[in-house]
Amino acid sequence: MKWLKLRKIKFLIINYRCEKTTSILSIWRNYKMKNIFILLVTICMGLKLQAQTSAIPAKMEWWSDAKFGMFIHWGLYSQAAGYWKGHKAKGGGQLMLNEKIPLEEYSKIALDFKPIKFDAENWVLLAKNAGQKYIVITAKHHDGFSMFNSPSSKYNIKVCTPYAKDPIKDLADACHKHGIKFGFYYSLGRDWEDPDVPTNWPTKGARSNLVDYPNEDQKVFNRYFERKVKPQIKELLTQYGTIDILWFDTPEMISPTESKELLTIINTIQPNCIINSRIGNNLGDYKVLEQKIGNTIQTTPWESCVTISKDWGYVKYDSVYKSPELITRHLLETVAKGGNYLLNVAPTGLGEITQPARERLETIGKWMLQNGVGIYGTRPWKIDREILDKTTTEMVSIVKETENEMKDGVKDITPKLITADVRFLSKGNSLIAFVSSYKNKTVVIKSLATAAFQPIKKVEPIGYKIKVKWKQTPEGLLIDMPSFSIPEIPIVGFKII
């Protein structure tokens, strides 16, 4: 009977979850102190594969499980396509600032903005088929032009363009129809249409519209906040049904009081809306890393936002597209370190997602259809990576539309080298190991050697209906590698129990 009691303890502890501490306390009280040693041993066994994450708020659960989203930068700059007055402009999405274009002149772009090829359902299905679980689109970028019907500001797509419709409404409806979470990007601390928006990064006035409004000292942020920000945020939260994310950018000069007020407005209207940290002043539900991936596993929610090409906004001569293999490696690296991966695409002025971007998303979608089960709902393991081969190859763009490289000031410091490695994830009581860019027939994963890891019972390739030969040895876990089903993405995952 004593042996049966101990087996019962082991069963309870292996099924233990970090948040259910009451289960442990109950077991502790119900059994004698002479079983403490066995109790501690079994706790360690049960927690060996658990995620290294903090408790997740209820409204963040879907986001923490989703892992992969689509970012969309679309605005008047998309119509300009990286040109101004016949020459290649500096900064596709920020050409108004970098080319020092007066507001009156820049706003004339709207007269030609007619995205007749925009198809909301096509965009949403492209994201869904790529394995992306949420979409975030620019409702208002730094130029101050609203891509939605904004009753509080006439400087918007419905009033100022011959298109005269609200594409955001169609996109929101399509997301709701196809089960894709939907959110808005909103430039908070930069607005080159409004006279009251000072900036302080990297120096005073460096990101302000000094052409039309040169006196920084006369600008009062709160006037802009009351006149434009608050009304527009309320419009975004009341005109489009459920809004899952508000993705703020560039908090700049917003005060703690204003950040808190904005947070209260959002939570009052849509309490389940997730808010990023760029609402300012250490508020928000998750932090953002832009054009980079963190160096270590992080236990609090975070997201890496990265461009699929070079610029955030559409630039006709942009030829620097990341390969499907590199994008997938970025996704795995981000998820293995506890983050979400938000991949940006830049539609044209006509409303089309470029063919190079579309091709990459379609290829990634085929891989995700097979391997997504090993990514969604996962959490970090105790380490995120093991290098298999120190030899590296540099990512080379497949598409080269022109010989000219963009000069847009975009600083993308995501990894560009391809290295054979393993990325580790935890899911329930299983370990997930993705072997990437590896050419040998047998892989040896040293982190899973007999002395370093618990006895392995089963190794299954993710998405394959085949068995693989494997053996756990003092040197590591040896697995005979199956062939890559998607040649453009030489990455295969294994479920290890």
CA–CA separation, 171 vs 79, rounded Å?
Answer: 19
Asked if pLDDT for residue 35 goes beyond 70, the answer is no
| Average of per-residue pLDDT values in the chain | 89
Name the more confident of 274 and 34.
274
475 pLDDT band, cuts 50/70/90, is very high
CA–CA separation, 349 vs 163, rounded Å?
Answer: 11
Interval 156-173 mean pLDDT: 98
In this structure, the number of other CB atoms found within 10 A of the CB of residue 240 comes to 21
Asked if pLDDT for residue 496 goes beyond 70, the answer is yes
| Identity of the amino acid at 277 | S
Name the more confident of 55 and 428.
428
Interval 264-271 mean pLDDT: 98
Asked if pLDDT for residue 14 goes beyond 70, the answer is no
What are the structural domain ranges in the chain? 58-376, 382-395+416-496
pLDDT given for residue 352 in this prediction = 98
> Which of these, 273, 349, 275, lies nearest to 73 by C-alpha position?
349
pLDDT given for residue 305 in this prediction = 98
Q: What is the pLDDT of residues 177-199, one digit of tens each?
A: 999 999 999 999 999 999 999 99
385: tokens are 């990576």
Asked if pLDDT for residue 313 goes beyond 90, the answer is yes
Residues 415/332, Cβ–Cβ less than 8 Å: no
90 pLDDT band, cuts 50/70/90, is confident
CA–CA separation, 492 vs 445, rounded Å?
Answer: 14
The 3-state secondary structure of the chain, one letter per residue: CHHHHHHHHHHHHHCCCCCCHHHHHHHHHHCCHHHHHHHHHHHHHHHCCCCCCCCCCHHHHHHHHHCEEEEECCCHHHHHCCEECCEECCCCCCHHHHCCCCHHHHHHHHHHCCCCCCCHHHHHHHHHHCCCCEEEEEEECCCCCECCCCCCCCCEHHHHCCCCCCHHHHHHHHHHHHCCEEEEEEECCCCCCCCCCCCCCCCCCCCCCCCCCCCHHHCCHHHHHHHHHHHHHHHHHHCCCCCCEEEEECCCCCCHHHHHHHHHHHHHHCCCCEEEHHHCCCCCCEEEEECCCCCCCCCCCEEEEEECCCCCCCCCCCCCCCCHHHHHHHHHHHHHCCEEEEEEECCCCCCCCCHHHHHHHHHHHHHHHHHHHHCCCCEEEEEEEEEEEEEEEECCCCCCCCCCCCCCCCCCCCCCEEEEEEEEEEECCEEEEEEECCCCCEEEEHHHCCCCCCCCCCEEECCCCCCCCEEEECCEEEEECCCCCCCCCCEEEEEEC
CA–CA separation, 47 vs 429, rounded Å?
Answer: 9
382 pLDDT band, cuts 50/70/90, is very high
Superfamily of domain 58-376: Glycosidases (3.20.20.80)
Asked if pLDDT for residue 398 goes beyond 80, the answer is no
Q: Which of 211-225, 374-388, 407-421, 429-443 has the lowest mean pLDDT?
A: 407-421
168 pLDDT band, cuts 50/70/90, is very high
265 pLDDT band, cuts 50/70/90, is very high
pTM: 0.88
CA–CA separation, 323 vs 369, rounded Å?
Answer: 18
Tokens 């002479």 belong to: 34
Q: What is the CATH number of domain 382-395+416-496?
A: 2.60.40.1180
pLDDT given for residue 393 in this prediction = 74
